[in-house]
Amino acid sequence: MKPSFFANLESVCRKKQSLLCVGLDPRFECTDPKEAAQRMLQRNREIIEQTLPYAACYKPNIAFYEAYGLDGLKALKETLELIPKGTPVILDAKRNDIGQTATAYARALFDYYGVDSATLNPFLGRESIRPFLEHRGKGLFLLCRTSNPESGDLQALEVYRKNPGGGRSHTTCPLYLEIAREACSWSPDIGLVIGATDPEALETVRDQLPGAWILCPGIGAQGGSLEAAVRAGLREDGLGLLLVVGRSIYQDPNPGQKAQAFRDRINWEVAGSRNRRTARSLRREIRRVALLEEIIEQGCLKFGSFRLKSGAISPHYLDLRQIISSPGLLSNVAEAYEELLRPLVFDRIAAIPVAAVPLAAAASLRLGKPFIYPRLTVKGHGTGNAIEGFFEKGDRVVLLDDVISSARSKLEAIKILEGAGIEVTDLVVLVDRESGGREEIERRGIRFHAFARISELLQLARTRGLTGVPKKEEVGV
């Protein structure tokens, strides 16, 4: 089975140690289409041959070829055939339409031209992208924050988030960020186009979508800083960012040397950024352990003999209901949930009663996201609601709880939510008791996220010399 575009892209980037995307955009004046086609094909052959060792991928812009009619499009087709198989190609087409028109565009890009990926405009919504996604294994880069000077007239507009109760929400964000969140929720085969001319937007989107691939034009002639783009947009694993260089390489008399110089500049900055990210990760881990110690100090971890909801007997019990008695601890726990929730795409939080309700409320306030909760016991009075709070059919929710053991209560909640037409995409918990619940949830196709494991808490308790802590062999963790 052929790997997906992004899987192949990651493999090539690692193999070549490159995040450089070379633009194949022939820019010259010529009145004879046949002569123009010959010139562009000759130059493209030179560019590809000389830059191939340094380029992770190539990006021809279809407009420069279409300008010369059939002769230009034939040159594009022949250019694509010059690029060795296995080398990723992104056709910069920025197509956008719906229905059969979008289907025809998709066939042109992926069947006729045979490219691996294309740039698209998401303005018409998911239905305009769906025909392209039907071509399995292809990659899509959707316009988000483009590099042209006046793109901010629309893309940087502050927009109100959807308020489920009607009226306007009190929180706003730039339009490009809403586009990024929504577009990346449509498929794992979708990346984003964000220009190097706005490193703040790069950093904002990377913070919200840590795993997304970003195509980053605007370096060189448009004034974007390569170094700032890498610092802002690089993923934690040193990938996730393609830096597009077009004219600076294409018009250089020694394109191979120029490509190597850009590749080396990128790698130099990547090395420095990874060191900085390692330091940030270390600081984040220190804060994480400090929160676990605070949970222990609050008396949430108890030792003895306890019957769990599943009926099993445990030598330890984690009572996170104690958190609400300490405003400072509750605030820190809300920050931990925010860290888990922020990269996810969802409409609202669904808390499992009763322990998780105040925790979800605190996380909701930090994120500006509404929350609901299903009633695990049928309400026999008042409205008789099975789910408290406003929601709409088709909403995507993240299930939130304090701990997970056997996942029984989670499965009960999922049944109620799905019965109301709500899609449960993820489960977040503060602590995984490592009792098989995670595996049960993942078997349901729901993504699982935990801030910590019970084994970590027990080890901290042993390190602190607390009495009554069971030995590893007694609990298996």
Residue 181 has pLDDT above 70, yes or no: yes
Residue range 456-474: average pLDDT? 75
Q: Percentage of the chain with pLDDT > 90?
A: 64
The rounded radius of gyration (Å) of the Cα atoms in the chain is 26
Return d(Cα 266, Cα 64) in angstroms, integer.
27
Q: What's the pLDDT tens digit per position in 128-142?
A: 999 999 999 999 999
Residue 162 has pLDDT above 70, yes or no: no
The pLDDT value given to residue 332? 93
Residue 444 has pLDDT above 80, yes or no: yes
404 with 437: CB under 8 angstroms? yes
| Domain map (residue ranges) of the chain | 5-280, 298-475
The pLDDT value given to residue 385? 82
Return d(Cα 322, Cα 304) in angstroms, integer.
18
pTM of the model: 0.67
233 with 202: CB under 8 angstroms? yes
375 with 387: CB under 8 angstroms? yes
Residue range 81-109: average pLDDT? 94
The pLDDT value given to residue 127? 93
The pLDDT value given to residue 283? 80
Q: State the DSSP H helix or E strand holding residue 70, giving kind and residue range, or none if neither.
A: helix 69-82
For residue 192, what are the β-bridge partners? 142, 214
Helix (DSSP H) and strand (DSSP E) numbers for the chain: 18, 18
Catalytic residue list: 94
Q: Mean pLDDT in the chain? A: 88
Cis amide linkage into residue 230, ω under 30° from 0: no
Indicate the CATH number for domain 298-475: 3.40.50.2020
CATH architecture of 5-280: Alpha-Beta Barrel (3.20)
Both tokens of 248, joined, read 């600076």
Return d(Cα 22, Cα 240) in angstroms, integer.
16
Q: Percentage of the chain with pLDDT > 70?
A: 92
Return d(Cα 153, Cα 264) in angstroms, integer.
35
The pLDDT value given to residue 167? 43
Residue 183 has pLDDT above 50, yes or no: yes
